[in-house]
Amino acid sequence: MTDTDTPFRGVYPAMTTPFAGDSIDHELLRSDAQRLERAGVDGLVPVGSTGESATLSHDEHVEVVETVVDAVDIPVIAGAGSNATHEALDLARRSADAGADGLLLISPYYNKPEPAGMEAHYRTIADGVDLPQIVYNVPSRTGRNIDVETTVSLAEHDNIVGYKAASGDFGQISEIIERTRDEAFAVLSGDDALTLPMLSIGAAGTISVSANVEPERTCELVESALSGDYGRARELQFELGPLFRALFAETNPIPVKAAMEHRGYGPDGLRLPLSELSDENREELAAVLDELEGGA
């Protein structure tokens, strides 16, 4: 696949959702989107797992999409998944009406569909909403892996143009890239630590947690790899490695919200049942952030 055929290429931060008390802070959300746009990211992904979508009402979900769309001039890929197909379809339609440029669709969680049900779920949404759509495989959260055959079949649908890989199964990811490389289909890293290895075998970019905190370095890492400068990409991988580990010391987005507070980007408030970062991990995260800032 050539770069011109790639529907999504580069760095797409998986945005956090800032809260003022129990309400969404839309002013801070807007300024954060604009901060990331200025840093050079290729697009934004609000209301995914990092955006605490599981604790937002559907109305809040759509309001976040509207705020981010209104704030920036880069593509906005809205999280819009659910474990009920009718609910995911409704969220997808409402996100499209809110101005989203694409959709990120987590696979159905808890009810653990078989491959036939998984494929029917995604095809129903792709048939019902005419936007570019990214299948999101994160079995650690959903309890079910989207297998290679299902993914390759879904890649044939005109509206299913990407796959966010967060399974940690590099063999599976490699096979999906191999078998879709002649399609207009972008495989994107959903695991910051694996972004560089994935880029080396043909991934198109990343939907990144760390890019909320280090967008410039993340963009340089990805662009270096995409342009073939793997020496520089490796340097950046090793610089960012401690951050990748610190940001997943506890359940995402607990650490990244603490990191953003440390950098002055907003409070680290979370909605229950998520809890604050432990003191030990907060100290380690602060040390990593200060080291990166000192080396900038």
User: Which residues are catalytically annotated?
Assistant: 136, 164
Q: What is the 3-state secondary structure (H, E, C) of 163-179?
A: EEECCCCHHHHHHHHHH
Angle at Cα 23 formed by Cα 111 and Cα 262, nearest 5°? 95
Q: Could you tell me which of 149, 135, 237 has the C-alpha nearest to residue 190?
A: 135
Contact between 19 and 40 under an 8 Å Cβ cutoff? The reply is no
50 labelled as ligand-binding? yes
Q: Largest Cα–Cα distance in the chain? A: 51
Q: Is 207 annotated as a binding residue?
A: yes
Provide CB contacts within 8 A for 112, sequence distance 6+.
Answer: 143, 144
- How many other C-beta atoms are found inside a 10 Å radius of the C-beta of residue 18? 25
From CA 203, how far away is CA 148, in angstroms rounded? 15
Which residue carries 């696949």 as its tokens? 1
Q: Which residues does 67 contact at the CB level (< 8 Å), separation at least 6?
A: 26, 29, 30, 33
Q: What is the DSSP letter of 107?
A: P
**Whole-Å CA distances, 261 to 202, 216, 217, 268, 269:** 34, 18, 19, 6, 9
3-state secondary structure 245-277: HHCCCCCCCHHHHHHHHHCCCCCCCCCCCCCCC
List the binding residues for pyruvate. 50, 207
